[in-house]
Structures are given as structure tokens and as C-alpha cells.
Amino acid sequence: MIKLSAALVSVVFVLWPAHLWANQSLRVVTSFYPVYVAVLNVTAGIPGVEVSNLASPHVGCLHDYQLTAGDVRRLADADLLLVNGAGMEPFLGKVAQQSPGVRVVGVSEGIALLDDNPHVWVSLEGARRQTENIAAALAAAAPDRADAFRANASAYNASLSALEEKMRAALAPYAGTPIVTFHEAFPYFARDFDLDLAGEIEREPGAEPSARELADTVKLVRERKVKALFAEPQFPDKSAQVVARETSVRVYSLDPVVTGPSDPEEARGAYLRAMEKNLEVLQEALR
């Protein structure tokens, strides 16, 4: 396995002097975990920035998320709501109605979508683009801290780039290998590493496939000689195990990084850790 030194994948942030912005608080709310992690990295060590997250770090994707009364109260006090956008957050219309004073920025703005799929952060390239958009949004909201936000974004993106380079080298031998994932979270990831995403077991998490749909997946796995099935740690793998029993293809777990620790210090490195683990899982599954 190709190794990177710890220095290449660690992120070093400048501790900016607190007195510079002691009385200028910026209250930032994020929609869900991947955006929360990226914002924590861009704001690390910068005084006067409060970051909180709407959805619990255990919620996962926001396909069916509904705003709570607590969410509405939090947004009433917020200066900026950073969301994934691209259709991920179905509740944005209610935000506009109930919290008209908060500025909403979609951090996927300007990123070309694959079939209107919103899971752009699962691509390391997409994660870097979102980080740049986050830094720009924060700089616009607090111009006095623009240089600090951009410096942190640059440091974090350097770590994302180093990890992507490592993953490209490690996964190059498996280019074109067909895989089946749990749901439609991985098309950008598969594109980046030249994996053949043959299909998904569940179109939407929690919407169990019918017997006919499972039979179609079994047929696909056999015809395409799929080497591995991938569930996600956030959801039960019952459907994947049904396909596995019928095809004798093993189930592994790939993490789209939609859940993780809530503590800011732990959460800051959650994306990098999850992608490192995804690399290890793919190497085991495809070798």
C-alpha cells in the first residue's frame, strides 16, 4: 500500500490574534455534516466565528429532513447558512419563509453535476471546490477575516489534494472494475478513480427495493461480473446482503461522510479519515 507521510495529510492552521476581531462575531450555520466539516476547517483558529450544524451528525443525507423548531430558532440568530445545494436540502423554501434575514449560500455553486446528483462532496475534487466556495462566502460575510479564511482553505485543500494523489496511485490498478454501491452517493467518486459504477442497490436510502428490483440487481451483478458490493455505515445492509447471498459477492462498506463525531476538534479531520478508510476498503475488496 502506498503511504503518505503524516505531514502531507495533516492540516496546519494559523492561530489568528483574538484581539483583531474580538467584538465582531460571525454566526455560521451549516445544513449537514459534510458542509459542517469543511466549514470547521476553513474557520479553524479564527476568533469570533461561531459554527453550528442544523442536522444531527448522525442524520446522514437530507433527502427527507424537516426543519425543527430548534432549527428555526438557530437560524433566526444566524448571519449565514451554508448548504450543499444542488437539491440536497428540500427544506430551503421554508428557510426563506421562516428566516428571511439569514443569507443562504449553496457551496456546490459552479460545480458541474452528474445527472443532477447532489453528492459532489464525495469527490475529493468536489470537496476542494466546496472549500473554495465556503472561503469565498465567509470572506464576503466578514471581509476583515478574508485572508484568514483563504489561508485555512488553502491548507485544507492541500491535504485533500495529497490524499487524492495517494488514492489515484493506489486505485490505478483497478481502473474499469465494475462495482455496485448502496445508493447514488458515489458517482463522482467512481468517476474520479475510474471505477465502473454498474448500479445501486437502493435508489434512495430507506426505500427498500422490491423483489423485482433485487432480482434485477442480482442479474446485473452476475452479468457484469461485479467484484464487490458496497453498503454504507449509516444504513442497514439488509438489501445488500440479499444480493450477496444470491451472487456470492461479498459486501463491504464505503462511507460517504454524512455522519461522524460532533466535537469540532474530532470532526475537523473526519473527511480525511473516512476517505483513508475508504481507500483501505477498496484495496481489500478489489485486489
d(C-alpha 43, C-alpha 234), whole Å:
27
Pairing of strands 229-231, 80-83: unpaired
Asked if 63 and 88 sit in the same domain, the reply is yes
Asked whether residue 266 is domain-assigned, the answer is no
Under DSSP, the state recorded for 143 is G
Crossing angle of helices 270-286 and 146-171, rounded to 10° = 10
Task: Mark whether 242 and 140 lie in a shared domain.
Answer: no
Domain's final residue, options 135, 164, 193: 164
CB 251 within 8 A of CB 114: no
∠ CA 4-231-235, rounded to 5° = 115
233 exposure class (CB count in 10 Å sphere: 0-12, 13-18, 19+): middle
Q: Are 166 and 279 in contact (CB under 8 A)?
A: yes
Mean pLDDT across 87-114: 91
pLDDT tier, 2 (very low <50, low <70, confident <90, very high otherwise): very low
Residue type, 106: G
Rounded mean pLDDT of 246-259?
Answer: 96
Q: Which residue has the higher pLDDT, 82 or 69?
A: 82
Neighbours of 221 (CB within 10 A): 25
8 A C-beta contact, residue 46 and residue 25:
no
**Domain termination site, one of 164, 199, 226:** 164
Are residues 155 and 103 both part of a single domain?
Answer: yes
Asked whether residue 273 is domain-assigned, the answer is no
Question: In the predicted model, is pLDDT for residue 95 greater than 70?
Answer: yes
CATH number at residue 244: 3.40.50.1980
* C-alpha–C-alpha distance, residues 151 and 138, integer Å: 12
Give the model's pLDDT for residue 64.
Answer: 72
- Tell me: do 159 and 214 sit in the same domain: no
Give me the chain's average pLDDT, please.
Answer: 90
Fill in the amino acid letter for 96: A
pLDDT value of residue 9: 46
Is residue 272 a part of any domain in this protein? no
pTM of the model: 0.89
How far is Cα 24 from Cα 47, in angstroms, rounded to an integer? 9
Q: Exposed e or buried b for every residue in 234-246, given b needs 16+ CB within 10 A? A: bbebebbebbbee
Q: Who wins on pLDDT, 23 or 90? A: 90
Task: Give me 140's grid cell.
Answer: 464576503
**In this predicted structure, what is the pLDDT of residue 91?**
85
Mean pLDDT of the 176-198 span: 96
Residue 6 within any structural domain of the chain: no
Q: Are 152 and 236 found together in one domain?
A: no
Residue 11 has pLDDT above 70, yes or no: no
Average pLDDT over residues 23-30: 86
Q: Which of 164, 192, 223 is the last residue of a domain?
A: 164
Q: Which helix (H) or strand (E) holds 181?
A: strand 178-181
Is the domain of 149 the same as that of 189?
no
Query: Is the domain of 79 the same as that of 122?
Result: yes
Same domain, 146 and 186: no
Instruction: Locate all alpha helices (DSSP H) within 91-231, ordered by sequence.
Output: 92-98, 124-141, 146-171, 187-192, 211-224
Q: How far apart are CA 166 and CA 85, in angstroms?
A: 29
Same domain flag for 53 and 142: yes
Work out the pLDDT band at 10, boundaries 50, 70, 90: low
CA-CA distance, 172 to 206, in Å (whole number)?
Answer: 33
Task: Evaluate whether residue 151 is within a structural domain.
Answer: yes
Print the domain residue range for 81. Answer: 23-164
pLDDT for the residue numbered 3:
44
250 belongs to a structural domain: yes
Query: For residue 3, what is its C-alpha cell?
Result: 503511504
One domain for residues 155 and 38? yes
Residues 6+ apart with CB under 8 A from 61: 32, 88, 119, 185, 205, 256, 258
CB 228 within 8 A of CB 252: yes
Report if residue 218 sits inside a domain.
Answer: yes
| Total structural domains within the chain | 2
Judgement on whether residues 186 and 134 belong to the same structural domain of the protein: no
Of these ranges, 15-29, 98-112, 154-168, the one predicted with the greatest mean pLDDT is: 154-168
